[in-house]
């Protein structure tokens, strides 16, 4: 335990970082909750009361926590580092032989623990809460009246969903020249790993009845989701990714998957880079400059990842590289700057 906390000095830096993280989070979360409340007040009606709005905000609170937490980490790390520098503790620790990187590592330890916790919440907790929130606000809407389309391997499928059922299915089979060769109609389907088993089906072109028509390329996941990919569990996004159809759609899902799973590393990379550069550029009593620099770097890097991700989606190269590679480069540059100080 002493090794993990880095001794007495390391434990002191750990606790100061933890306290600052708590203060920054409470302030930003309170402001975010206020903005969310104002937004919900605009949606109040006869079916959506103020009490329901408060319940809705309570259900999405964990999702909001996971979304704003990386920014809280950047701000709290910069403020903690600045306070240690201005109070002389940073200088004292360096005199006692503690390296700058180990000091930053002590500051990052509570942040890294909570970032890992957000991944756990996003996988096992928040998707269920988001579904409950959507049901509370929008009611149990009947999706069976909404027609949906799928395209996969020269097949277009029109269908409706109701709970876990798929019904009113029309499958258009195309040849390599994109001409229709079969149109299969079915009232309902069983979904499994072997595809969609269309029950009581009929070939509309030949007017022949087919007891069971198996569409082998039919996806097992993702076709009936009410949540956006941003709100889904990582494991569900991964399953949908493996079953995605066109390259563009697959790249869009891949971008969401890698962005979510790599967010803790991206946040750590930004913190290390921001602390390394700010320590080199700013002297004592420059906390405001450090903070502004760190926030601008965080927002700028996030915007850069979005732009690069969209370029990857449009041009067909791997979105995973658009997320992972810049984060690792920023992390390596920040580490190198710290090691030279």
Q: What is the pLDDT of residues 285-314, one digit of tens each?
A: 677 888 888 889 999 999 999 899 888 888
Kindly state the average pLDDT of the residues 255-279. Answer: 91
CB-based contacts of 320: which residues, under 8 Å, 6+ apart? 254, 258
d(CA 208, CA 206): 5
83 part of a folded domain: yes
Kindly state the average pLDDT of the residues 213-231. Answer: 81
Kindly state the average pLDDT of the residues 228-257. Answer: 83
pLDDT-derived band at 281 (thresholds 50, 70, 90) equals confident
116 part of a folded domain: yes
193 part of a folded domain: yes
pLDDT at 144: 43
Which residue, among 68, 91, 53, 89, has the nearest Cα to 21 in the 3D structure?
Answer: 68
Q: How many CB atoms lie within 10 A of CB 93?
A: 20
The whole model's pTM is what?
0.82
Most confident of 21-25, 174-178, 320-324: 21-25
DSSP 230: G
Specify whether 332 is located in the same domain as 278: yes
| Residue 9 CA: distances (Å) to CA of 6, 12, 80, 206, 276 | 7, 5, 14, 80, 20
pLDDT at residue 229 tops 90: no
pLDDT at 5: 61
129 part of a folded domain: yes
Specify whether 188 is located in the same domain as 116: no
Specify whether 56 is located in the same domain as 157: no
pLDDT at residue 143 tops 50: no
Share of the chain above pLDDT 70, in %: 93
Specify whether 29 is located in the same domain as 133: yes
pLDDT at residue 141 tops 70: no
Assigned token pair, 291:
């903070």
Element of type H or E holding 148: strand 148-151
Question: Among all chains, which residue has been given the structure tokens 């420059």?
Answer: 286
Which residue, among 107, 68, 83, 88, has the nearest Cα to 272 in the 3D structure?
Answer: 107
Q: Which domain holds residue 31?
A: 1-69+79-140
Which residue, among 68, 37, 72, 61, has the nearest Cα to 125 in the 3D structure?
Answer: 61
pLDDT at residue 224 tops 80: no
Specify whether 43 is located in the same domain as 134: yes
């Amino acid at each position: 335990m002493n090794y993990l906390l880095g001794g007495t000095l390391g434990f002191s830096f750990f606790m100061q970082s933890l306290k600052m993280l708590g203060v920054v989070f409470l302030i930003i979360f309170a402001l975010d909750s206020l903005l969310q409340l104002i937004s919900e007040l605009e949606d109040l009606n006869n079916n959506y009361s103020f009490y329901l709005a408060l319940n809705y905000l309570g259900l999405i609170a964990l999702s909001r926590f996971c979304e704003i937490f990386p920014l809280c980490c950047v701000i709290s790390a910069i403020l903690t580092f600045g306070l240690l520098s201005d109070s002389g503790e940073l200088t004292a620790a360096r005199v006692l032989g503690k390296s700058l990187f180990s000091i930053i590592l002590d500051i990052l330890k509570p942040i890294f623990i909570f970032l890992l916790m957000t991944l756990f919440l996003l996988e096992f907790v928040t998707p269920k809460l988001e579904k409950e929130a959507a049901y509370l606000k929008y009611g149990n809407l009947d999706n069976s009246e909404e027609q949906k389309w799928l395209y996969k391997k020269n097949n277009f499928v029109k269908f409706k969903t109701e709970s876990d059922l798929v019904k009113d299915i029309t499958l258009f089979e195309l040849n390599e020249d994109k001409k229709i060769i079969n149109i299969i109609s079915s009232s309902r389907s069983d979904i499994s790993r072997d595809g969609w088993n269309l029950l009581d089906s009929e070939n509309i072109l030949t007017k022949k009845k087919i007891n069971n028509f198996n569409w082998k390329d039919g996806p097992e996941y993702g076709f009936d989701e009410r949540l956006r990919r941003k709100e889904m569990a990582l494991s569900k996004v991964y399953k949908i990714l493996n079953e995605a159809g066109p390259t563009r759609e697959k790249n869009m899902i891949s971008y969401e998957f890698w962005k979510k799973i790599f967010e803790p590393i991206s946040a750590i990379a930004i913190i290390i880079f921001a602390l390394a550069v700010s320590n080199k550029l700013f002297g004592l009593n420059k906390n405001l400059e450090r903070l502004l620099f760190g926030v601008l770097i965080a927002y700028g890097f996030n915007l850069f990842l979005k732009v690069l991700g969209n370029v990857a989606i449009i041009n067909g190269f791997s979105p995973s590289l658009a997320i992972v590679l810049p984060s690792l480069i920023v992390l390596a540059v920040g580490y190198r700057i710290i090691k030279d100080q």
